[in-house]
Structure 1
Amino acid sequence: MQKILVINGGKQFAHSGGQLNEEITSWDKSFFSADKGFEIQITQPHLEDYDAATEVEKFVWADIIIYHFPIWWMYMPNSLKKYIDEVFTAGHRKGLYYSDGRKAANPERNYGTGGMLQGRKYLTTTTWNAPKTAFTLDEEFFKGRSVDDGVLFPFHRMNAFCGLEPLPSLHFHDVEKNGSPELVAKFKAEYESHLKTIFKF
């Protein structure tokens, strides 16, 4: 059985209801079924109390971690950031990372190589009000820089610090201004196709 940990980082706040990330998480429940050879656990930091040590055990247990979250003010919601701060800190020498990787003999080199999750991978989806063209056109807001090489660069390095390897990300755009049931259906088809490509279905 391939072990999947899903972290739903959506949250109800202001004009955001968190519903799209809940729906994406529901797609995981359908896709990662036992009859396909998967075992799944789901954590929703915004909805439930969690024990940091138990969450560390879930990361160590998982073969693949899947993060879903909206982008608010150019980063993840505060509830997800709090979760990561607490869980990753609790994971020091408990299975997530041993040290920052440097040795006293050469302290200028090898920072970020002390992770303990080598062999595990992670997949990220994000939801945006921004349209895709905000990233692909040089004259638009993000100056032609992609989501992964721009806003999510520190997020990816955070996972690398623990030894995790990235799977291809998927980003859903224009979800607020032009959101509709038809757009969500399109997202679902894109996500299922993305998963089938990665997991060879």
Structure 2
Amino acid sequence: MSNILIINAHHYYPFAEGKLNGTLVHMADELLRAKGHKTRIVEVDKGWDVEQELENHQWADIVVLQTPVNWMGVPWNFKKYMDEVYTAGMSGALCNGDGRTEEKPKANYGGGGTLTGKQYMLSLTFNAPEESFSNPDEYLFRGKSVDDLLFPMHMNFRFFGMTLLETFACYDVMKNPEVEKDFQRFIQHLQANITG
């Protein structure tokens, strides 16, 4: 069984209270614990302790990032979390610097991760409809995928040596939500990618 860190990166707004992301976190926690995994949950909006978060990442076999996508990226409070926690982890907790050496100062940038053998999964909520992605005729994303859009997040985890589990996404959650279908797909996704 695995140790699983679930990070709820939602930031409260009056028009987006975080109920969907909170419910997905709760569902993941319940399902994973029922299958014998150990879980820890971090709610970024409630604040964090940097040393505890470094320990959480070292403890975890899998990190699940549950986040809305705001303006094509993660909420600002999770970016602050990354700036504080991940920068503190550069001294060996998450990586040994940036991977370069004095002998090869221009090679292997990003290859210093100390979390090799660990995995991560992005679970995303979008206002955008699913059809707006991976279609070259669509106005905004021009054929790009969800993972293309979240490329910087993938690189952050890769910087620590972690490998990707398949990304999950709920689409059109504000204008045309299909919450019950999303919940069913989420359970199937966790079963296929984590619980077996």
What pairs up with 1:157-172 in 2 under 5 angstroms?
A: 157-172=155-170
- What SS class does the counterpart of residue 171 from structure 1 fall into? strand
- What SS class does the counterpart of residue 121 from structure 2 fall into? strand
Counterpart-to-counterpart distance in 2, 1:73 and 1:49: 22
Query: What does residue 17 of structure 1 align with?
Result: 17
Could you list the runs of 5+ residues in structure 2 that have no partner in the other structure?
A: none
Query: What does residue 144 of structure 2 align with?
Result: 145
- What SS class does the counterpart of residue 136 from structure 1 fall into? coil
1:149-189 per-residue CA deviation (whole Å, 9 max, x = no partner) reads 2x20111001100111110001111000112xxx1111111
Counterpart-to-counterpart distance in 2, 1:4 and 1:80: 18
Q: Quick check: 2:32–2:195 contact (8 Å CA) kept in 1?
A: no
Aligned partner letter, 1:189: Q
1:57-115 per-residue CA deviation (whole Å, 9 max, x = no partner) reads 00000000000101111111111111111110111224201111111222221100001
Query: What does residue 26 of structure 1 align with?
Result: 26
Aligned partner letter, 1:92: M
Query: What does residue 73 of structure 1 align with?
Result: 71
Q: Quick check: 1:56–1:94 contact (8 Å CA) kept in 2?
A: no
Aligned partner letter, 2:22: E
Alignment TM-score, normalising by the size of structure 1:
0.93
Counterpart-to-counterpart distance in 2, 1:69 and 1:110: 30
Q: Quick check: 2:35–2:195 contact (8 Å CA) kept in 1?
A: no
Query: What does residue 117 of structure 1 align with?
Result: 115
Alignment TM-score, normalising by the size of structure 2:
0.95
Query: What does residue 182 of structure 2 align with?
Result: 187
Q: Quick check: 2:5–2:62 contact (8 Å CA) kept in 1?
A: yes
Counterpart-to-counterpart distance in 1, 2:107 and 2:95: 17
Counterpart pick for 1:131 among 111, 129, 132: 129
Whether 2:55 is the aligned partner of 1:44: answer no
TM-superposed CA distance for 1:200, in Å, is 5.0
Counterpart-to-counterpart distance in 2, 1:49 and 1:143: 36
CA RMSD of aligned residues (A): 1.2
Between the aligned residues of both structures, percent identity stands at 36
1:110-161 per-residue CA deviation (whole Å, 9 max, x = no partner) reads 1000011000000101111101111122111100110102x20111001100
TM-superposed CA distance for 1:20, in Å, is 0.7
Counterpart pick for 1:173 among 171, 174, 187: 171
Give 4+ residue runs of structure 1 displaced > 3 Å after superposition.
Answer: none
